[in-house]
Amino acid sequence: MASGFGISRTVLRKSGQRLNFGSIGKQCDHSLQVVRCSANAAAPNTGREPRLKTFSVYRWNPEGKSLPVMQKYEVDLDDCGPMVLDALIKIKNEQDPTLAFRRSCREGICGSCAMNIGGINTLACLSRIDPNPKKSTRIYPLPHMYVVKDLVPDMNNFYAQYRSIEPFLKQKDSTKLGVENYQSVEDRQKLDGLYECILCACCSTSCPSYWWSSDKYLGPAVLMQAYRWIIDSRDEYTSERLDKLNDPFSLYKCHTIMNCTKTCPKGLNPGLAIAELKKMLASHNSYKTPIAASQ
């Protein structure tokens, strides 16, 4: 029984990791405050010592009346990829298939796996596991968001705010039809550092101001995209776009805390974009004509 099963398991492991071992291994008891699930059932029989790392993950089940709990999982780092997402997928495959999280590209471009790892918001697929076995890696969903299940937050408010700034090219002059929108090299360079945003929401959910006012404050991600369309030389609705930010909350709830730029997993700078927006709005309100960003 044991040896035959062991052999087949080793063979499967070499060919691919994406097998569901859900029925094998311990079932974890959700009634405990902190629960341990070990990887012993799936450990290879090569006699090598597993290099175990503990992951403490936020869990909440919408079915059932329980409160959120932290659940601990142990993962053999010698049998796992280097990133936190690799560990999460391994946990889901081998230990607990009920663990819910978003993921897609596994290369830091889609923005699905944004979560709070080790206290800061990053993409799980770009966050290297700290190999220190004495510390456990704490994984939470993005802060101050309604939780759908486990590590999955409700992103609909974020998307609605993005939609509200009208993130598309708008032109008034219909005689330009059939002609390309020429843009100089200098004007195109102004968009560098802005268009690369993947809308992962790491920055907005790291902002304490957005925590307290996410109904009215747009947040750094959306504001950076508002700036991206305002300074696009091809867009002709600059004045209207600036007018839309002219209230106490949408833009001006930014107090330059700068958690956003610190946490951006793509290395972008929303704080700087917002500061430029404030300058533009100041001259817009003074002269009632939009003045291009001074750079």
Binders of other proteins among residues 162 to 201 (CB under 8 A) are: 163-164, 166, 174, 177-178
110 lies in the binding site for other proteins (CB under 8 A): no
- Asked if residue 214 lies in contact with residue 151, where contact means CB atoms within 8 angstroms, the answer is no
Binders of other proteins among residues 5 to 44 (CB under 8 A) are: none
Q: How far, in Å, CA of 35 to CA of 33, rounded? A: 7
> What amino acid occupies position 219?
G
Q: Among the candidate windows 83-91, 101-109, 115-123, 180-188, which touches other proteins by CB under 8 A? A: 115-123
Residue from 17, 93, 98, 157 in contact with other proteins (CB under 8 A): 157
CA distances from 56 to 23, 116, 264 (A): 22, 12, 23
Measured from the CB of residue 65, what is the shortest distance to other proteins in angstroms? 8
List the one residue out of 90, 193, 81, 74 whose CA is nearest residue 126. Answer: 81
Measure the N-to-C terminal CA separation of the chain; round to a whole number of Å: 71
Measured from the CB of residue 81, what is the shortest distance to other proteins in angstroms? 24
227 lies in the binding site for other proteins (CB under 8 A): no
- Asked if residue 26 lies in contact with residue 36, where contact means CB atoms within 8 angstroms, the answer is no
Residue with smaller CB distance to other proteins, 87 or 218 = 218
Residue from 262, 285, 291, 292 in contact with other proteins (CB under 8 A): 262
Residue from 55, 73, 101, 140 in contact with other proteins (CB under 8 A): 140
List the one residue out of 219, 240, 110 whose CA is nearest residue 166. Answer: 240
Residue with smaller CB distance to other proteins, 73 or 227 = 227
Residue from 98, 183, 272, 283 in contact with other proteins (CB under 8 A): 272
**Count of residues that bind other proteins according to CB under 8 A:** 51
148 lies in the binding site for other proteins (CB under 8 A): yes
Query: At CB < 8 A and 24+ separation, what contacts does 158-164 make?
Result: 158/199, 158/201, 158/204, 158/219, 158/221, 158/222, 161/218, 161/219, 161/222, 162/199, 162/221, 162/222, 162/225, 164/218, 164/222
Measured from the CB of residue 12, what is the shortest distance to other proteins in angstroms? 36
List the one residue out of 92, 74, 75 whose CA is nearest residue 19. Answer: 92
Tokens of 104: 């897609």
Binders of other proteins among residues 64 to 93 (CB under 8 A) are: 67-68
Measured from the CB of residue 68, what is the shortest distance to other proteins in angstroms? 5
Q: How far, in Å, CA of 56 to CA of 160, rounded? A: 32
* Interacting residues with other proteins (CB under 8 A): 58, 60, 62, 67-68, 116, 118-120, 138, 140-148, 153-154, 156-157, 159-161, 163-164, 166, 174, 177-178, 206, 208, 211, 215, 244, 255-259, 261-262, 269, 271-272, 275-276, 278-279
